[in-house]
Amino acid sequence: MKATIIITADGKISVITKEGTFEGGRQEIKKLLASLGIEGIEIASIDDEKDFEQHRHDSESHAHLHAHSHNS
Amino acid sequence: MPCNGVTVLRPISLKANVFREIKAQPEVAINAIKKLLADNWQAEVINIQQHKNATRFYINSGGYLEITADGLIKVAGFWLPQNHFERLAKIIGRLGVLLTQERIRQVIKKIAVVEDEQRAPNGALIINVKLEG
């Protein structure tokens, strides 16, 4: 699964997966963060509901649906 | 049938801490701090010691810079104007992030296939990978 990892200059990490389902992407991201944790890189706790969002792209209609798993 | 899409982990804070990076990658971290002191305050590090739960960098003027386990910075024996102290704290905080970025880069190389990486103008490190899970 292809992914992009961004570490900002102010000390935040963001991960974007570009293939598969939302749930599959979320599981892969959580595995990645767990691996970083095993190597001693500490990350603030993650809220499954608020910290993940999905962007679905329907290629047939070219419509874009941005379905967020949070209320912000 | 589930459709392909993009899953995003919104930006999460790393617990970047210079003291932790000194432990994790001592050579890189110590060289970076030596260079920081030399470039900004013409201070030459002449000795490094562990003092309780802190690392002390003794400099040629007789004082030292201390970085504690919780990331606090103390200076003793050399005078810094208040605005310089703030600058020092800010630079060391940024150094903690840079060192953490570097360590993440190394870990990612071990756990994923890195396709490319780049540094954005705003200092962000962007790594494109293929996860093998």
Chain B residues lying within 8 Å of A17, measured CB to CB: 6-7, 131
Residue-wise DSSP of A21-53: -HHHHHHHHHHHHHHHHHTT--B----TTTSEE
Give residue A65's pLDDT.
47
CA atoms within 13 A on the CB side of B31: 5
Q: Compute the average pLDDT of residues A41-49.
A: 89
Which of B12, B107, B130 lies nearest to residue A44, judging by beta carbons?
B12
Q: Taking all residues of chain B, what is their mean pLDDT, rounded to a whole number?
A: 88
What pLDDT score does A62 carry? 45
Whether B76 has its CB under 8 Å from any CB of chain A: the answer is no
Mean pLDDT confidence for A16-26: 91
Query: pLDDT per residue over B53-108, tens digit each?
Result: 899 999 998 899 999 988 888 888 876 777 788 888 888 888 889 999 999 999 99
State residue B87's pLDDT score: 84
Q: Residue B68's pLDDT is what?
A: 92
Query: Are the Cβ atoms of A42 and B14 closer than 8 angstroms?
Result: yes
Predicted pLDDT of residue A63: 43
Residue A23 to chain B, least CA–CA distance (Å): 8
Lowest mean pLDDT among B2-11, B20-29, B59-68: B2-11
Counting one residue from A and one from B, how many pairs have CB atoms under 8 Å apart? 156
Residues B64 and B78: their CA atoms lie apart, in Å, by 7
Q: How far apart are CA B117 and CA B9, in angstroms?
A: 19
CA dihedral in degrees (B69, B70, B72, B76; nearest 10)? -30
The count of C-alpha atoms lying within 13 angstroms of the C-alpha of A48, restricted to the half-sphere facing its C-beta, is 6
Tokens 């892969």 belong to residue:
A28
Whole-angstrom Cα distance, residue A55 to residue A39? 30
For residue B2, what pLDDT band results from cuts at 50, 70 and 90? Answer: low
Give the global pTM: 0.79
Question: Among partner residues B5, B6, B124, which is closest to A7 by beta-carbon distance?
Answer: B124
Check CB contact of B129 with chain A, cutoff 8 Å.
yes
- Per the prediction, chain A carries an average pLDDT of 82
B12/A contact by beta carbon, under 8 A: yes
CB B104 to CB A55 under 8 A? Answer: no
Higher-confidence residue of B17 and A57: namely: B17
Residue B13: the pLDDT is 94
Q: How confident is the model at residue B133 (pLDDT cuts 50, 70, 90)?
A: low
- CA contacts within 13 A on the Cβ side of B127: 23
Predicted pLDDT of residue A51: 94
| CA separation, residue B52 to residues A2, A65, A72 (Å) | 45, 55, 45
* Confidence bin at A72 (pLDDT 50/70/90): very low
**Chain A contact present for B81, CB below 8 A:** no
Select from A8, A21, A49 the residue whose CB has the most chain B CBs within 10 Å, as the one to mutate to test that interface: A8
